[in-house]
Chain A
Amino acid sequence: MSEARGLKSWLTTTDHKRIGLLYFWTAFSFFLVGGLEALLIRAQLAQPDGHLVSAETYNQLFTMHGTTMVFLALMPLSASFFNYIVPLQIGARDVAFPRLNAFSYWVFLLGGLFLNASWFVGPLFRAGMLNVAPDGGWFGYANLTERQYSPGPNIDFWLLGLQILGISSLAAGFNFIVTILNLRAPGMKLMRLPTFTWMTLVTQFLIITAFPVITVGLVFLMFDRFFGAHFYVHEAGATPILWQHLFWLFGHPEVYILILPAMGIVSDVLPTFARKPLFGYTVVVYSGILIGFMGWGVWSHHMFSVGLGPIADSVFAATTMLIAVPTGVKIFNWIATLWGGAIRGTTALHFAVGFIAMFIIGGLSGVTHASPPADLQQTDTYYVVAHIHYVLFGGTILGLFAGIYYWWPKMTGRLLSEPLGKWHFWLQFIGMNLAFFPMHFIGLLGMPRRIYTYSADLGVSDLNLASTAGAFLIAVAILVFLYNVWRTRRHGQPASNDPWGGASLEWSIPSPPPVYNFSVIPTVTSRLPRWRTELHGPMQDPPAVPPAPIHVPGGSWWPLVAALGLPVMALAALTHTLWIVFVGAALLLVGIYRWAFEPFEV
């Protein structure tokens, strides 16, 4: 990384590696916030008739838990690897648009802070603390979220915050598509890309197609709430079901936006530690692409209880079941990759195998509610809460932790402790099963989700207590991880270029890489450039000292200035104050204008 130190060097950085680290720490902080919200939710539900928090606070907690985990934790944690790892895997010196990349990060940070500010600014809206955070669920169903039924600023925070975050995701999406398509090293054909980079590419296409849909939905809702439009108002001849279609048309591809990067990580981690190439690389890649396409044809399975009619229900049941096929294919290929290998049981491998084991459960429970009549008993109950947590916690989070342990030495130059890592894994693995497995039964026994209290008569009190214990066990596991990180800063074993014997290009350069990444851009001749295969020997690593001076662009303030304009404009909408709009717009326009004409030189 660049030699420059100090606050300014971080505020103005355009180095993809620094931005990757910023993404990581910001997203991990939001992950802790979302986790804290989860613990409060579980503490409330530990017993029937709980009264730790009020109904209103509880509704804010589960809304912010979902919103935070999806938009502020999981997506940007994946983005931290897009940023740090993808350019290294394709043999590039940076992303295609480094300043746009910085802009994406700052917009994400500011959007996240804007959303979470809602916890504290109640008094500014003549309400108490803990009164104006979003409370309409992460799915924000109209017409509950219309001004008539949610008059406070709560929903405004949510819909403005999500619009800000959408801009960040879209900018990053275009950036990474161009990066992956255009900045590949010589010889790095598309079918030689590491699987993680491939899944990143598919994810970016999903982002740039799915986010416009929710943006349209949010703009409609904003017009309804701020300007008295009637997009979701049935009294004016519209229907609130429109929101559900728009939301889930985004929402289901979003599920794949969350899971595909983790699948990519696992597809890179398993071969490294099994000392075997990924089994069926082509099939794994194509099934990832297929999942990306099919993800667009299943949204109404979130809406079976709406009563769309037997024909629509049958069609969406069929498409939903079909998507299980490419998913199953991936799982079989992962197992076949391990089969016949020489498996080293590193922490990263533990998490990758844990991902497969847990994702199978989430996938299978998904099949049970792909069937509409069965789903009519399951939807909106804890059974579905169990399902999404097996997919997004057992899947995405375990996959991301596999990536964290795998690439930590590359990103920081030090290896995380393996014994502590194993403790972390087992605590988290046991904790998540204790937390989420009972939820299957809680749901089947009739407990709906999103309720702040339940009666002891339901007979699910013990199961809920077990689930709460599991949630706190997960918290302990995360503390072990944080201790491991803290300890590694000083006492971690320094990492060589390639502590694991990886096949892809990121392992050919120092850990952490120099600011220019590759002293010489490598020429790629095989899918596993650093491994000996039937036809090729391992590639020569780039020399430690660049044979010729390498031009490295300097930093820029303007992405940050432009990014600041967005939350300021959102603040204007929130407070209904026109002049603030002009301040925000001025920041944005001046930022973009100066950025456009800034000589991007040292």
Chain B
Amino acid sequence: MPRIRLWLATAALAMSGCGGPFPQSTLHPRSDFARGTDALFTDIFWWAAAVFVVVELMLLVAIVRFRHREGRAAPRPTHGHTLMEIGWTLAPAVILVFVAVPTVRTIFATAGEAPADALKVDVIGHQWWWEFRYPELALVTANELHVPLGRVVQLSITSADVIHSFWAPPLGGKRDAIPGHMTRIAFRPDSVGDYSGQCAEFCGASHANMRLRVIVDSDSGFGRWATVQLAGPAAPAPGTLAERGRAVFARSACIGCHTIQGVSPGVIGPNLTHVGSRTTIASGLFPNDSAHLARWIADAPSLKPGSLMTRMQPPLTDADIAALGAYLQSLK
């Protein structure tokens, strides 16, 4: 029974055709790359399903039909049959040709080659967050990758520490982020949306907490986003909580790890210049609101085991944390 329910659930899911309830599904492709792999998988799946039905049926028929019954003659001691052996050697081989040909075609189609006008993004995996650099735009952000609709995106992926794997299922397959290596993947997103993904290679304590989002903007939306990101952060208005927050930031250990353009040059943690414009914090773990920001600033390792953002010594006061949160949220 549960098996049937699962099949029904999947059928419903396939028919619904929208990524809504399954933001990380491989079955809801939203780029040429993901559509290619999905079509290939569907192809192989049906071959496999056909073989499954035929072979399991043969097995079932054999064990039902040839049960031992009293009075039945002893079975004939057959030892083999050369023609049958040849037959069931060739049959799977032929099926595999039908699988191999589209496989090789898709391998070359998804090999990471991109046209010269592709948007280039350098992806750097860190324990446990993602850094995104747009070399042509001189723009650096973290954990939320913005790309325009309809333009090929070429990711050049590496790691700053251990091996990670970049994976945003609706847009493309995994590519490992390997220190000392540069791997590539290219895809052309075909639907505007906010897609989730996460690190797929075990990378230590908080591997589960190394999530990411890819936001596919309309062409003009992407332009607006880039313009905002390129500008320096707006200075908080005098006398506001945010202004006090900037002072707390500037005199605390924050500056050792984080860059805020014009304020601090740290490079160990994510660039926070426009952190207020992101929808999530802590590498896709929490919504970007003041409550979560406050908890995160106060004690990141309790929310993300192993996090290098340790508790501040001496601890920040609640008032300081609130001010810091207000400042970070003002960095739109």
Q: Is the CB of A444 within 8 A of B184?
A: no
Instruction: Please indicate the chain A residues that have their CB under 8 angstroms from the CB of B209 in the complex.
Output: 55, 453
| A376 partner, pick from B48, B174, B199, B305, beta carbons under 8 A | B174
C-alpha gap A280/B165 in the complex (Å): 45
Say how far A522's CB is from chain B's closest CB, in angstroms: 21
Given known pairs A338-B62, A458-B24, the reply for A313 and B107 (CB within 8 Å) is yes
Chain A's nearest CB lies how many Å from the CB of B185? Answer: 8
Interface: A538 (CB within 8 A):
no
How far apart are the CA atoms of A217 and B81 in the complex, in Å? 45
Task: Tell me the count of chain A residues lying within 8 A, CB to CB, of chain B.
Answer: 98
Q: How many residues of B contact A (CB 8 A)?
A: 98
Please tell me if B6 contacts chain A, counting CB pairs below 8 Å.
yes
Closest chain B CB from A188 CB (angstroms) = 18
Among A318, A376, A378, A438, the most chain B Cβ lie within 10 Å of the Cβ of A376
B225 within 8 A of A: no
Q: How far is the CB of A280 from chain B (nearest CB, A)?
A: 4
Report yes or no: B67 in contact with A343, Cβ–Cβ below 8 A. Answer: yes
Most buried by A among B9, B51, B85, B205: B85
Q: How far is the CA of A136 from the CA of B204 in the complex (A)?
A: 7
Q: Are A367 and B99 in contact (CB under 8 A)?
A: yes
Measured between beta carbons, the chain B residues less than 8 angstroms from A375 are: 173
A577 CB within 8 Å of chain B: no
Q: Contact string, A52-78, partner B, CB cutoff 8 A, digits 1/0?
A: 001110010000000000000000000
- Please tell me if B3 contacts chain A, counting CB pairs below 8 Å: yes
Of B85, B175, B204, the contact of A307 (CB 8 Å cutoff): B175
Which residues of A are found within 8 Å of B251, using beta-carbon distances?
none
Q: How far is the CA of A437 from the CA of B26 in the complex (A)?
A: 17
Distance between Cα atoms of A376 and B103 in the complex (Å): 12
Q: A234 to B38, alpha carbons, bound, how many Å?
A: 35
Q: Is the CB of B100 within 8 A of A307?
A: no
Which A residue's beta carbon lies closest to that of B23?
A457
Given contacts A143-B179, A306-B178, A457-B23, contact A380 B201 (CB under 8 A): yes
Most buried by B among A277, A305, A377, A453: A377
- One of B68-76, B143-151, B288-296, B322-330 contacting the partner: B68-76
For B76, give the chain A residue with the smallest CB separation.
A340
Flag if A340 contacts B66 (CB, 8 Å).
yes
Q: Does A283 contact B (CB under 8 A)?
A: yes
Binds A, one of B108-116, B216-224, B241-249: B108-116
Q: Give the distance to chain B from A57, nearest Cβ to Cβ, in Å.
A: 10
- Complex contact A367–B44 (CB within 8 A): yes
Chain B binder among A118-126, A358-366, A487-495: A358-366
Interface residue? A537 (CB, 8 A): no
Asked if A339 CB lies within 8 Å of chain B CBs, one says yes
Taking chain A's interface residues, is the majority helix, strand, or loop, or is none over half, making it mixed?
helix
Contact A321 B75 (CB under 8 A): no
Known A371-B103, A373-B37; judge A448-B200 contact (CB<8 A). Answer: yes
A534 to B76, CA, bound (A): 10
User: Which of B88-96, B129-137, B258-266, B310-318 has 4 or more CB atoms under 8 Å from chain A?
Assistant: B88-96
Q: Given the complex, which residues of B lie within 8 Å of A281, measured CB to CB?
A: 79-80
Q: Do A55 and B306 contact each other (CB < 8 Å), given the known contacts A280-B80, A377-B37?
A: yes
B117 within 8 A of A: no
Query: B76, B80, B161, B176: which contacts A283 (Cβ < 8 A)?
Result: B80
Contacts of B24 in A (CB 8 A): 445-447, 458
A-contacting 9-mer, from B53-61, B226-234, B267-275:
B53-61
A366, B44: Cα distance in complex, Å: 11
CB nearest to B29 among chain A residues? A377
B7-23, CB < 8 A from A? 9-10, 21-23
Q: Are A453 and B208 in contact (CB under 8 A)?
A: yes
Q: Is the CB of B68 within 8 A of A339?
A: no
Selected interface stretch from A175-183, A255-263, A327-335: A327-335
- The 8 Å CB contact of B22, one of A329, A335, A459, is A459
Contact partners of B85 in chain A: CB under 8 A: 280, 283, 329, 333
**Could you say which of B99, B169, B176 contacts A377, with CB atoms under 8 Å apart?**
B169
Contact yes or no, B25 A444, CB < 8 A: yes
Is there contact, CB below 8 Å, between A325 and B96?
yes
**Quick check: is B106 within 8 A (CB to CB) of the other chain?**
yes
Query: How far apart sit A339 and B65, CA to CA, in the bound complex (Å)?
Result: 8
Contact between B25 and A445, CB atoms less than 8 A apart: yes
Top 5 nearest A-B pairs (CB, nearest first) are A376-B173, A446-B24, A234-B180, A451-B208, A307-B183
20 contacts between A and B (CB under 8 A): A277-B77, A280-B85, A305-B200, A305-B201, A310-B107, A314-B104, A333-B80, A336-B84, A342-B75, A361-B52, A373-B109, A376-B172, A377-B169, A380-B167, A438-B2, A446-B197, A450-B202, A450-B207, A458-B22, A531-B77
Residues in chain B within 8 A of chain A (CB atoms): 2-3, 6, 9-10, 21-27, 34, 36-38, 40-41, 44-45, 47-48, 51-52, 55-56, 58-59, 62-63, 66-69, 72, 74-81, 84-85, 88-89, 91-93, 96, 99-100, 103-104, 106-112, 127, 161-163, 165, 167, 169, 172-176, 178-181, 183-185, 196-209, 211, 305-306
Given contacts A144-B162, A332-B55, A371-B106, list 10 more A-B pairs with CB under 8 A: A56-B306, A305-B173, A314-B103, A333-B85, A340-B76, A342-B74, A368-B41, A377-B174, A433-B3, A447-B24
